[in-house]
Structure formats: structure tokens, C-alpha cells
Chains A and B, each alone.
Chain A
């Protein structure tokens, strides 16, 4: 038994959980407890179990976690390095509760009293979970601000979102999906957002990444082999029906392949494509 425990200790130490770099985070007003620990992709299962799957699908690299306390609150603070800002943005937007009020801190942040704060900055996604005491709004706000100050990098939207037209976009609706956008196996690597059309109806628009011409050609051919084709001002539009959400269609543009979803019929699809590609 002792041997087994020793083996486990050695294996875990070697494989998954390494000492974090000195000076992991200095958070004003909060005291660290113990040593920070860093987990790689293999060790992430040990930290968050089956929840690791979705992080790994978004390009997770490492997470460093440490406990901090202030007053009667003790919380674990986990800093996920997602490799690039777009990946961090994707996982943040999945995990952030939709009903939580966003804070103007970092790239984005939310406080969900009484137990959790989430924030995004550059390639880092940070998750704060209280396990003693409660994180109220004021405590959460100041803690998030302190973490944002302590993290390196830029607090700006990932540059890939520049491919999405801004005119008509619903604020805060942009997202990045690595695979199967709208439940369609053929739509991977998309940035997308909610828009309002000229008639006031809400719909989704997306751009397939990366936007270089060679990739766009491959993706277009793949879609063309499965989707139907119609004409829009002499240029081909590819489209298909999506269960429960109408038509989705794409057109080539300078930004690569741009598409719209949730169209009730072909006319609406073409109108929206016309609008979005003109924006």
C-alpha cells in the first residue's frame, strides 16, 4: 500500500502537477496559501475531471491554481493558459453564465455571487471559486480588478473577430466555435455573432477561419459537395436547412467565407447575405 501511494505521488508529481513559476499572481489585498500548482493537458483530468474535455478541445495548454484568502473568504484561483486569445475567448464565453452581469474589466469578466468569478484577459481564462465564505458583488469586483492588473497581455478582443462586420451586431454576442457550429459537422472554426437585420429580425452571422484563400477554397469545395447552390447577383451561394432554425447559407467575400443562419426562406437568406457582405 505504501509503495502504491509512493508510486501515485511520484507519478502525479512528474506527470501532471508541477510547481508553478515563482510569483504566480500577486493580488492586492489577498494572501496566498501554500504553493501554486500547474497542471498540463494530462493532469487537467485530475483537477476538473470530465470538464477537461471541452477545455482540451479549445487548445488548453496549462492551468496554474492556488488558494487565496481575504477576510472570511478563501477561494481557489485557477489561471488557464489557452495558448491564444481566441481559444480563451471561446471557452470563457461557453462557461460564463448568460445571466451574470458583465464587468468592464479585462477583456471580459463576470461575478456570480456567492461562489464564482470568471474573467478573460489575452490568452488567459481565470476561474475563481470560493470554498469558504461567500464572494459578494463588491468583493468580486475588487478581486477581478486585482487579478486583471496582475495578469500579462492585452485586454482586447481577439483579432479574428475583426472579420465579423460590426454594423448591426448585438453587443456582447460574439463567440468562437471550434467545431459543429449550429450542430453541423461541416462548420468548424467559426467566429459568429447575433445581428439585427433591416426589418428588425434577429439572426446569426459567421465567418469561417482561417480566412486565407487556400483554406477558404478547401472549405468551399467541401460545403459545395453537400449543400445546395443558388445565385446571388451572379455569384454562388451555398445553403442548407438546419433542423429547428431555418436556412444557413454562405458566400465568398474578402474576409473568406461569410455566412448567415436562421433564415425563414431563400429570399430572406439572400437578403441577409447581401446585407452582411455589404457591411
Chain B
């Protein structure tokens, strides 16, 4: 294999602009600018008591699969002491990575949670067997908490196999606590809402921990769960702490983009006047622009000039709530840990919270909320609204463009959503005022790079 002459390092204009934008975004957030200037290694600065477990948990924690063992080590060495995993993450690969990393840690100083999805024919013994495998992969004498993974209904909270196994495992000192996770349904109407399941779990008495989808845009639902957890001294972990955001492309009525042209043509074929369709699109674009104009003062004050800034601000908003004990982030690399750690121990000032609330109100009609199924059944074509919007969220807020597009492609809509040939009976079905059709079309454009 012969070597090829490499180009000398140079910084393109695009790279320069990107780097400048990222720096501007970061500099507005507490801690980040200081860390950059002084080259400090950030560390966790605040711990909270994880409900009745009594564990002093770092306010930022790490979860999900698909990362190297050294990422867990790095998190631990920077003060993160809560690791979330599941049997189903990579057929146990995530647990193996944690097990490998645990060999470099003081076991007593970390809180390890894993999760089992319960099947219909589960028995106490099958739960015990599966847990035993989890424990082997985690290479630990005990696991701190076992969750029911993505509990789909209140009924499953009573699963005798799970509770029988938990009782046995606690007696054997192999398990300390039990919990429930739920991040909303994946199809409109197919499962009970997150808050129904988690509030019931908090009041049940047998569950010590909850894993909740929570951010400043879906606070109304999440707050109900948090109130129930606080009342019952249940430990709380947040996931999906950044809200999604979808922006509209401008419309030139004389020369509409292919996507707009297709939509306009379909509506005209369906009997709408071309002028009315154009007015409808322009109205939504104007609404979008007004939203971001309203929020501009806050965004500029706090450095939220890109998605990374919004992600950080969203995390900081959750960190400001003392009833949420830790926020679980799916860090896959060292850089992302470095970016988030300076947020530990920070809280938003009253003025910042008000500003973010202002943003929430302004953006309310644009944001499709996690774990919300209020528009269930509104679409005659059965488009899974919340699923499509979740993919847009992965694209815009988690910067997982390929992943989001791959998932969206799997829905099988190809070049066009059914919305293109629909007169929109979903209009007005969102209690938060989200323009469902316009958001779906925007998401489609984003996820297909149309």
C-alpha cells in the first residue's frame, strides 16, 4: 500500500464560520466560556439525593448504547456517577462496555441501572435468568436498579414475574431498587400516555425510580410525574432534555421549490384555490418567523444561535428544577461530555427562566411534544405524527442526521407524504396549536433533504 500526498492543513471558510458559530453559541452559557479560556477540565459540581434510594447522584448522567467503554471511564473520571443501560442495547453490548469500564472504578461510587422489556409470557424464572445475564455482562455483584423498559401500560406495573424476581434478587443482595421507564408511545393511540403510566408507578409504592422524557416544551406532562415522584420520594431521571425545532424554508410563489410546488398542485387538484394554498403556506412561514423574532432577545442573550446552544439551554433548564435529580444524556464521545459538564451545578436565573418560558410560549405552536398523543386518530392516512417529528428531533437537536433520515426512510413515504394530497383534517387537532400538516411537510423536507 503506497502513501498518497496529503493536502496541507487549511481552514475553509465554511469551517471558519462553523467554528465561529459554535464558539459564539458556547460563550453565552455559564461555565463554557471560562472552561475554554482557562483550559480547565470540567467536572460535576452538584449532586442530588436520588429519592428514597438515598444515593447522591451527579446532576448529569450517561445513558444509551453504542459507545466505547472509555467514554464511560471518562464520564466517571469527570464525576458522572449514574450509568443507564438495558439488556436490549446491542444485545447486551452496552452492558459489556459498562462492565469493562467498571473495572477501573470504585463500584460503590457509581449507580448502575439496567432495563428489561417484559414479554407476555414472562415468568419469575425467565426474569431471573435474564437479569443474571445482565449481571454477568456488567461484571458486578449487584445492580443498583432494574427498570421495566418502556412500560407500555399501567397494567404492566403489576407484572407478577417482575415483582417476584425483584423480591428474590433483593433478598439475594443482587439488586437494590426497581424502576420504570417510559418515553411516550411510538404510534398515535397505541399506548397509554407517559404521565398515566409514570404517575401510577410513582404511587404504586414498589418502584423507587422513574426515567422520564422531560424538557421545557413538554413540562406540563412531565411536571405531573415529577409531583407524584416528589410526593412519594421517588428518584427521577430525565431523558430527551432538548426540545425539537423545525424551521420552514421560504416560499417564492412565482418559483416555488419542488416540494412546495408538489404540495400546491395536490391541493389545487383537491379543489383548493392556488391563491389560498399559497396564503396558507405564507401564513405559517410568517408565524414561524415571528416566533423566532420574539425569541431572539433570549437567544442572543444566552448564546442560543444554533441547535447546540438550544440543546445546552434545554439541559440547563431541566438542571434548574430540583425535583429532577439527574439528566441522562446519550454521550457517545468525549467532546460532547466536555461540552455538557460545565452545565453541572448551574441553574438559570429567574430572568433566564422567564426568557426561556417566553421562548416556550412563542414556539409552542411549532413544537410537537415528546410523549404526546393528543392528535391520535386525526390523520385519515394514519401518518404517525409524533414519530415523524421525533425523527426531525433526532436530525435537528441530536445532530444525528443519517440516523434520522434512515429511520424516516423506513416509514416508506419516499418522495412524498400523504399530506401532499390531503386537505388537512388534522387542522386544529393539536391542543397546543401546532400546525400538524405544515410541520410534517417541513420535517419531510428536512429528513429527505428535498
Contact = CB atoms under 8 A, between A and B. Distances in A.
A48 B8 CA distance: 47
Contact of B90 (A14, A59, A95, A258): A95
B1 interface: yes
Contacts of A48: 88, 117
A131 B245 CA distance: 43
B121 interface: yes
20 contacts: A11-B188, A16-B187, A48-B88, A49-B149, A49-B150, A60-B406, A94-B66, A95-B90, A97-B91, A131-B119, A180-B332, A182-B68, A183-B70, A220-B6, A221-B10, A236-B9, A238-B9, A243-B70, A251-B6, A277-B3
Given A15-B411, A95-B93, 14 more contacts: A41-B410, A42-B407, A48-B117, A49-B117, A50-B88, A57-B402, A95-B91, A131-B121, A179-B66, A183-B70, A222-B15, A224-B7, A224-B9, A277-B2
A255 to B, nearest CB: 6
B9 A252 contact: no
Interface string B96-135: 1000000000000000000101010100000000000000
A10 B189 CA distance: 11
Interface stretch (B221-229, B257-265, B282-290, B333-341): B333-341
B88 A252 contact: no
A160 interface: no
A59 B384 CA distance: 20
Contact of A50 (B5, B115, B119): B115
B45 interface: no
B4 interface: yes
Contacts of B5: 235, 252
A186 to B, nearest CB: 8
A261 to B, nearest CB: 11
A94 B65 CA distance: 11
B190 interface: yes
A45 B4 CA distance: 45
Given A53-B66, A179-B332, A235-B3, A221 B407 contact: no
A235 B71 contact: no
Given A54-B65, A255-B1, A221 B333 contact: no
A200 interface: no
A37 B259 CA distance: 34
A183 B68 contact: yes
B190 A54 contact: no
A56 B406 contact: yes
A220 B15 CA distance: 13
B127 to A, nearest CB: 13
Given A221-B9, A221-B12, A222-B15, A254 B1 contact: yes
Given A94-B90, A180-B67, A183-B67, A50 B334 contact: no
Contacts of B10: 221, 224
Interface in B346-405: 376-377, 382, 384, 387, 400, 402-403
Interface string B394-426: 000000101100111111100000000000000
A53 B332 CA distance: 13
Given A236-B6, A243-B74, A42 B333 contact: no
A231 B4 CA distance: 14
Interface string A221-261: 11011000100000110100011110000011111001000
A141 interface: no
Interface of B: 1-12, 15, 19, 64-68, 70-71, 73-74, 86, 88-93, 96, 115, 117, 119, 121, 149-150, 186-190, 332-336, 376-377, 382, 384, 387, 400, 402-403, 406-412
Contacts of B387: 42
Contacts of B333: 180, 183-185
A279 B411 CA distance: 44
A45 B89 CA distance: 12
B14 to A, nearest CB: 10
B115 A40 contact: no
A197 to B, nearest CB: 16
Contact of B189 (A7, A44, A235, A277): A7
Interface in A102-143: 118, 127, 131
Contact of B187 (A11, A180, A220): A11
B70 A244 contact: yes
Interface residues of A, number: 67
B187 A10 contact: no
A182 B70 contact: yes
A19 to B, nearest CB: 15
Contacts of B411: 15, 40-42
A14 B411 CA distance: 11
B91 A15 contact: no
B410 A60 contact: yes
A273 B92 CA distance: 34
A243 B188 contact: no
A61 interface: yes
Interface in A196-238: 217, 220-222, 224-225, 229, 235-236, 238
What 10 A-B pairs come out closest when comparing CB atoms? A41-B410, A51-B88, A224-B9, A95-B91, A252-B6, A185-B333, A252-B4, A180-B333, A183-B71, A49-B117
A118 B408 CA distance: 27
B86 A253 contact: no
B86 A50 contact: yes
Contact of A94 (B3, B88, B91): B91
B190 A220 contact: no
A251 B2 CA distance: 11
Nearest to B93: A94
B3 to A, nearest CB: 5
B382 A15 contact: yes
A260 to B, nearest CB: 13
A12 interface: yes
Contacts of A238: 9
Contacts of A245: 70
B92 A97 contact: yes
Contacts of B74: 183, 243-244
Contacts of B15: 221-222, 225
A4 B186 contact: no
B73 A243 contact: yes
A225 B11 contact: yes
A185 B186 contact: no
